[in-house]
Amino acid sequence: MEKQTVTIKEAAQQLGLGHNAIYRAAKNGQIPSIRIGNRILVPKAVMQRLLADPGPQEPTEVVSVGLQVVEVASG
C-alpha cells in the first residue's frame, strides 16, 4: 500500500520552502496536516492541490497571504 502522507521535510522539498516555514504553516492551519504523537504529516492530496496547475482562467490578481494564495477577480 502506498503511503498517503508526506513528512514536513518532504513537503518542504516539494514546495521549495524551508521546513520551519512548513512547520509554522501546519501549526497555523495554513497547510492541513495530521499530528500523530510528535510527528506532523501532510496528506498527499493536500500537496497535490498545492502543486496543481489550475490551467488557463480569467485574469485574476493574486495576493499572497503567508503560504495561502488568495485570488481576487480583477475588473
CATH label of the domain that carries residue 20: 1.10.10
Question: For position 69, what pLDDT does the model report?
Answer: 45
48 grid coordinates: 497535490
Q: What gap in Å lies between CA 63 and CA 31, rounded to an integer? A: 17
Identify the pLDDT of residue 61.
Answer: 57
Domain count, the chain: 1
Q: What is the C-alpha separation between 29 and 25, in angstroms, rounded?
A: 6
Contact 21, 27 (CB under 8 A): no
**How much is the pTM?**
0.65
Q: Quick one: pLDDT at residue 55? A: 54
pLDDT of residue 68: 46
Question: Between residues 58 and 22, which one has the greater pLDDT?
Answer: 22
Range of the domain at 51: 5-73
* Residue pLDDT, tens place only, 26-71: 999 888 999 989 899 999 998 998 888 655 555 545 444 444 444 5
